[in-house]
Amino acid sequence: MDSPITLWTLQHRDVWQRLKTGQSYRVPDDLCWPSIEEDEELRAKLVAAYDWIADRLDHRDPRPTPRLRWPVWAHWCIGSDGPVRPDLRRYQQYAPGVMLELRVDPHRVLLTDASGWERVINDSFNGRGMNRFWNAWDNSAEGTTERARLQQAKRHSWARCLAVNPSHPTQGVLWEIRPEDVVSHCFFKGHPEPKWP
């Protein structure tokens, strides 16, 4: 059996309180919707990206019942230092919360390359030939078989974010945090939001 993987996740303090009572934490459905109400097109792209990653995790570790929409996010590796705890001075959080250190069976976790995930979340092509892809996209009309073929190629390219390199920033998703997963916790105060002119 593979040895457990160490992850870190930044959560609301209520999550820690729930885990202390012996209950697992799963992302509630009401938190599973991007709050971008003014831009329906952007919202649809985000939903498609999160649905895609949830489906990939479902292939690796089937969703628990009752069926969950989206997984919990965590950090595994933060660059060339290897798997190290995130530095809250660099990854500033505006709201107070808790950083949980987890040890999890690797079969419960789907790791993704953070840069590759940015391409998925931005509904972009992920791989070589990006300029060629976007030229073909711009020269194809909406609703044509060529546009459908390119859309399928773009979705297929997203799988490249699942090929991770420990020297690159890497994140992980899992369906739930179980109380026994938690190794340590650290509260943080959060930083004041920047005031823009």
Q: Would residue 79 count as lying in a domain?
A: yes
Residue 192: is its pLDDT beyond 70? no
What's the mean pLDDT in 102-113?
Answer: 95
- For 158, the token pair is 């997203």
Domain range for residue 75?
5-121+165-188
Q: Would residue 172 count as lying in a domain?
A: yes
Q: Cα separation of 28 and 19, whole Å?
A: 15
Q: Would residue 157 count as lying in a domain?
A: no
pLDDT in tens, 18-55: 999 999 999 887 666 656 566 788 888 888 899 999 99
pLDDT, the chain, mean? 84
Q: Would residue 30 count as lying in a domain?
A: yes
CA angle 170, 109, 117 (to 5 degrees): 40
Residue 86: is its pLDDT beyond 80? no
pLDDT in tens, 135-163: 887 888 888 888 888 888 888 899 999 98
Look at the chain and report how many structural domains it folds into: 1
What's the predicted TM-score (pTM) here? 0.84
Q: Cα separation of 142 and 135, whole Å?
A: 14
Q: Give the per-residue pLDDT at 174.
A: 97
CATH number at residue 14: 3.20.170
